[in-house]
Structure 1
Amino acid sequence: MKDNFSAQADLYAKYRPRYPQELFDFVLRQVSNKKWAWDCATGNGQSAKVLAGNFEKVYATDISSKQIDHAEPASNIYYSVQPADKTDFDNDSFDLVTVSQALHWFANDEFYAEVKRVSKPLSVFAAWSYSLLNVSPDIDKLIVDYYRNVIGPYWDAERKYVDDEYKTIFFPFREIPSPRFEMNYYWTIEELAGYFKTWSAFQKFIAASNPDPIPGIMEQIRPHWNDEMMKISFPLHMRIGYVDK
């Protein structure tokens, strides 16, 4: 299983966008019992923190100890470093399993078998991802060019599932129709640059002894950055379903 985010765990915690409450409200409405939840590939724990306000206990796992070190604490969140497809949880433990912006790394038979093993009958599995951000037509063109043509060769093959809005990702559960969501923020240009540094392809680009590409793309964007803060929008896509056993 790939660990693409330990190197930038501090940046990830600082700059990654936060999911809207409307998304969690929709997921929670599908869950009959709210005793235990598992937030798989928790990253900095932002989803686990929201779930902790609705479940007795939340177990949050990640393969990156550095990500766990930066995770958001709560008295009923139990963090551990574990792979997604082989945990130490008991059978039939969870009412909800969530994966935020990570299912594309491990959407395989082994992981889904583990989900079925640790989930209670008729529990809910939900995974979501956000695709490329939108700022303005001029800036969007520059970001797409940077995304595809500058660091594009350094994206892992699994990134295609994010680009496909998770429509083509393997999903073996009884699907629940879900609405589309959006994350909206007002960012400074410095925050945008910080977000770019969280991309795994950026880290691989640098690791391959290439010069830092961020100053170049920001120099192109700056003339089009019309205010101190500009609205940033991320389209969100979800797959959610019942775990039949």
Structure 2
Amino acid sequence: MHPRFPLHRPLAALLLMMGALLHAAGPGGPAPAIQLKDQGGKAFSLEALRGQVVVVDFWASWCGPCRKSLPELDALQARFAGQGVRVVGISLDADASAVATFLEKVPVRFTILHDPAGQTGEAFSVVAMPTTFILDREGRIAARFEGGSHAQEEAAIVAALLAGGAAAGEVRVAAGLQATGALKAWRRGHLADPIMALDGDRLTALLREHVHASKEGAAGNGGAAGGGCGCN
């Protein structure tokens, strides 16, 4: 910082806080604490899973790619459970009934938590749906994947299982697809509705895709990529 242009103290404090938050949610940093309840009402803590490789997946009922990624994560846990891998899904839906309805259609066997307030989404700096984190045995974030990246997620799990495995990196969606500002990624279900209702004839689906694309573009930063939920 140039001595002639000192940074205003409140702004400096805000920037430091934002930097700490982003560091905590990026590869190499410690995972933020999670204090939620599972579907059975039992309290959940990441600390209880220390010593295992943990996959934390943020999803929502309206998120199209989540219909594909949740079953893939379920298969990953089944494959690697014997080696100490646990998958934890965190729904950021505001409506609990939407979560239940989704899970009836897309059942999974791993732990599902519900955070209607979005506090964990804030703590992990989620800007797209879905967003998946791989935590190493020490509770550090080894990798971050946005938008659904099954092959990379599996590779990151294998790397985290190796003794002394290094951070496996990250995959981010295009900047134009990130939810920014006051409207968070998990609050952008209106952009996906009714595009995520996948049933019906092809003509209806094409119309829904057109409406969805228009909403995405209107919510974006003016660029061609638009700025929707990060799930297309």
Same structural fold, with TM-score higher than 0.5 when normalized by the shorter chain: no
Relative to the length of structure 1, the TM-score reads 0.30
Higher strand share: 1
